[in-house]
Amino acid sequence: MNNNKTALITGASSGFGYEFSKIFAKDGYNLILVARSENKLEELADELRNAHGIDVLVKPKDLFVSTAPQELYDELKTEGVHVDILINNAGFGNYGKFAENDLQDELNLVQLNVATVTHMTRLFVADMVARRSGKILNVASLAAFSPGPYLATYCASKAYVLFLTEAVVEEVASFGVQVMALCPGVSATGFQSTAKNEHSLIGGNVKALTMPADEIVAIAYQEFMAGKVVCIPGTSNKVGSFLMRFMPRVLIRKAGKKMMYTKELGQQ
């Protein structure tokens, strides 16, 4: 790869990952694109190489598999590629009653949203600390600020990402390494459809709450480069996260239950 700095982006084939890939490429970063779909990654890589003259490595990996982060890290080490910026974007949502959801889906969610983020962060932050430079962005969610009935495991996983990020920030800042948690609200990424909660109040196409993915990523990119620790795009989301710090948790839980309920779930 050329001498430009390199950003590794997981979940790069769609949604936030796709938008992050474009914005880093535009600023001249070489890219390492990671996702399960090799064909989509190759198409994106060709598009970005042609548009911006950067080097792009395609690394098709299934990050639901516990060994994938180490395999990716070892491959890059063997190839002599070091990562200046890590974007932990790959994530998964699972909507429904916790007692009825498929157990393997719940465990897969924890693997990807919690274990993989932890594994990737730990592997790459060690090199960054040793070099005294580097940046990591972990995609959390506005859901990290409250328990979420019918999205119980997802909200819990994103709370983990937020708190992990804020803790690691304090450990590595003196070594010149920056870490940020991105906490977007409802966004037009296809996440709601994948998580099967597109018909709930908060998951549906609520124009007052929904932000385009490219707008969220543009804000996140600016704040990431400015050294912010937690990024909450959108005024209403900032206000909501602030209010949740002072509201009784029982009210947050019950309000969340009403907002996330759909008739497809049956009896509440």
Q: Which domains does the chain have, with CATH numbers?
A: 6-265 (3.40.50.720)
Is the pLDDT at 189 greater than 70, yes or no? no
What is the percent of the chain where pLDDT is above 90?
75
**Overall average pLDDT of the 61-76 stretch:** 98
Give yes or no for a contact between 111 and 64, defined as CB atoms under 8 angstroms apart: yes
Is the pLDDT at 75 greater than 90, yes or no? yes
pTM of the predicted protein model: 0.88
Label residues 235-263 b or e (16+ Cβ within 10 Å = b). Answer: eebeebbeebeeeeeeebeeebeeebbbe
Give yes or no for a contact between 164 and 122, defined as CB atoms under 8 angstroms apart: no
Give the pLDDT band of residue 248 (cuts 50, 70, 90). confident
Give the pLDDT band of residue 185 (cuts 50, 70, 90). very high
Encode pLDDT of 97-132 as tens digits: 999 999 999 999 999 999 999 999 999 999 999 999
Q: Which residues are identified as catalytic?
A: 154, 158
The torsion angles phi and psi of 2, rounded to 5 degrees, stand at -70, -175
Give yes or no for a contact between 55 and 2, defined as CB atoms under 8 angstroms apart: yes
More confident residue, 39 or 238: 39
Give the model's pLDDT for residue 186.
86
CA distance 13 to 33: 8
Q: What one-letter code names the amino acid at 176?
A: G
Give the model's pLDDT for residue 259.
75
Give the model's pLDDT for residue 192.
46
